[in-house]
């Protein structure tokens, strides 16, 4: 098939590159020229394991442009993958999807064939039908379901293993209005053997929010229990290991630690809270999920102060700046909250991350960025914030370590060791 992908972030580039691997011709669109140049030079505009290789291997099938009209002209289907960040009040910012919807509408006006627009961006239930579809209809002067198709296909990939997640999804969810769009997406996803759920558009949109909210809730619950375990001298990991042997309880994400960050969980839970409140209901559980999560990284500072009561002038090492390993993404990283607090306490911060240093430097130009993780171990105390694999191989002997991610080597060897929930 001939496919266009609007938005070359984690979702767009991974979707397009993987569709290229399946033999489709893909045209990428972004307003960021650097991303377009990267793809047209056969490279990935983002750091994601396996992505560079896929893009260079399938380069003859992939191209990129800043012009939506140029991309749509010769394609049958468009994936909308632009960002949907939070507004300051936690509600969802739809500026990018609205603007991309308008551009798609203008392009569709000039196209005579039936074109299907598939919304992959995470949007609250109702958004595709009430915001994106009307934007396309009014610009194109065409009617959805009759003259073009509209569909929702939420994305569940995890940064750091996004390529693998694309090829081995747990399920594919497709919200549709008309049979022609459904048939096209059935065809596109025919090579995948996982369950495929065809439903209405609003339900598909809701599945994405409930999936993320469920995972976020597990993490906050694990942290609430973990904090109690720590206070009582109990190892939360031992507790959850045994609890999750119950077949009814899936162990994934039942992990005590520093809480969740990243570009999705915090913003999606906040957006859902705001939508539930808008409907006049009180999202009590979800509000607690956010409360627990916001307080969690500061537990590390409490534990640090048990050993170094005055942080002024103390050299504090921070291992890991990305919100999770194998990504350069620092959006809502726990390291942001921690470094901010360390700066307020006038500590001398030295940090290390194998991928996210440049992104973090743009936010915090005043702290030190070490070339190696070993350099960080020279500090008076070390905070382990992201579980990069290489942190398992460091020599923690004679060190004071506060561990937010359960690095076994540190737990075993550090002279003074505090696990955040164990």
Active-site position among 18, 81, 229, 264: 264
Q: How far is the CB of 145 from ligand NAD (least distance, A)?
A: 24
Q: Which residue has the tokens 């098939």?
A: 1
Q: How far is the CB of 3 from ligand NAD (least distance, A)?
A: 15
Q: How far is the CB of 80 from ligand NAD (least distance, A)?
A: 9
Measured from each CB, the residue nearest to ligand NAD is: 9
Question: Are 169 and 199 in contact, with CB atoms under 8 Å apart?
Answer: no
Nearer Cβ to ligand NAD, position 82 or 402? 82
Nearer Cβ to ligand NAD, position 132 or 318? 132
Backbone angles phi and psi of 375, in degrees to 5 = -60, -35
Q: Footprint of ligand NAD on this chain (CB under 6 A)?
A: 6-12, 29-32, 35, 81-84, 96, 99-100, 121-122, 155, 157, 159, 263-264
Nearer Cβ to ligand NAD, position 68 or 304? 68
Nearer Cβ to ligand NAD, position 14 or 314? 14
Q: Whole-angstrom Cα distance, residue 407 to residue 388?
A: 9
264 among known catalytic residues: yes
Opening angle at CA 287, ends 281 and 293, nearest 5: 165
Nearer Cβ to ligand NAD, position 7 or 226? 7
Convert 257-287 to b/e letters by CB count within 10 Å (16 or more is b).
bbbbbbbbbbbbbbbbbbbbeeeeeebeebe
Q: Whole-angstrom Cα distance, residue 207 to residue 124?
A: 10
Coil vs helix vs strand at 395? coil
Query: Which of 197, 121, 128, 195 is closest to 154 using CA atoms?
Result: 121
Q: How far is the CB of 146 from ligand NAD (least distance, A)?
A: 25
Q: How far is the CB of 131 from ligand NAD (least distance, A)?
A: 13
Q: Whole-angstrom Cα distance, residue 108 to residue 140?
A: 6
Q: Whole-angstrom Cα distance, residue 142 to residue 151?
A: 16
The number of C-alpha atoms within 13 Å of 49 and in the hemisphere containing its C-beta is 12
What are the residue numbers of the active site? 264
């Amino acid at each position: 098939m001939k496919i266009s992908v609007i938005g070359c972030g984690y979702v767009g580039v991974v979707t397009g590159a993987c569709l290229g691997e399946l033999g489709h011709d893909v045209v990428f669109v972004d307003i960021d020229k650097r991303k377009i140049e990267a793809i047209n030079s056969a490279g990935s505009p983002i750091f994601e394991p396996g992505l560079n290789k896929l893009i260079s291997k399938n380069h003859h099938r992939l191209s990129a442009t800043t012009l939506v009209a140029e991309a749509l002209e010769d394609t049958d289907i468009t994936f909308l993958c632009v960002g949907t960040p939070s507004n300051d009040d936690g509600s969802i910012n739809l500026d990018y999807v609205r603007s991309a919807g308008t551009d798609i509408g203008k392009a569709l006006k000039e196209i005579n064939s039936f074109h299907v627009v598939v919304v992959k961006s995470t949007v609250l239930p109702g958004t595709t039908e009430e915001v994106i579809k009307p934007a396309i209809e009014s610009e194109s002067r065409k009617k959805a379901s009759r003259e073009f198709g509209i569909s929702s296909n939420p994305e569940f990939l995890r940064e750091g293993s996004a390529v693998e997640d694309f090829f081995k999804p747990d399920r594919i969810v497709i919200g549709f209005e008309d049979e022609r769009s459904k048939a096209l997406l059935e065809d596109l996803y025919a090579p995948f053997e996982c369950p495929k759920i065809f439903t209405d558009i609003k339900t598909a949109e809701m599945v994405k929010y409930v999936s993320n909210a469920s995972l976020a809730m597990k993490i906050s619950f694990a942290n609430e229990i973990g904090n109690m375990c720590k206070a009582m001298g109990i190892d939360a990991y031992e507790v959850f290991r045994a609890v999750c042997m119950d077949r009814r309880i899936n162990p994934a994400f039942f992990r005590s630690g520093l809480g969740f960050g990243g570009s999705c969980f915090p913003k999606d839970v906040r957006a859902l809270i705001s939508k539930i409140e808008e409907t006049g209901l009180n999202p009590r559980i979800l509000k607690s999920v956010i409360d627990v999560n916001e307080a969690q990284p500061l537990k590390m500072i409490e534990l640090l102060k048990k050993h170094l009561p005055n942080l002024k002038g103390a050299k504090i090492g921070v291992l890991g700046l990305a919100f999770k390993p194998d990504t350069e993404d620092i959006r809502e990283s726990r390291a942001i909250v921690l470094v901010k607090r360390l700066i307020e306490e006038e500590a001398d911060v030295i940090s290390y991350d194998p991928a996210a240093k440049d992104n973090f430097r743009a936010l915090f130009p005043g702290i030190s960025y070490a070339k190696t993780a070993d350099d960080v171990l020279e500090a008076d105390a070390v905070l382990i914030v992201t579980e990069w694999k290489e942190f398992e191989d460091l020599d923690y002997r004679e060190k004071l370590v506060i561990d937010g991610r359960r690095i076994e080597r540190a737990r075993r060897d550090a002279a003074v060791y505090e696990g955040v929930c164990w």
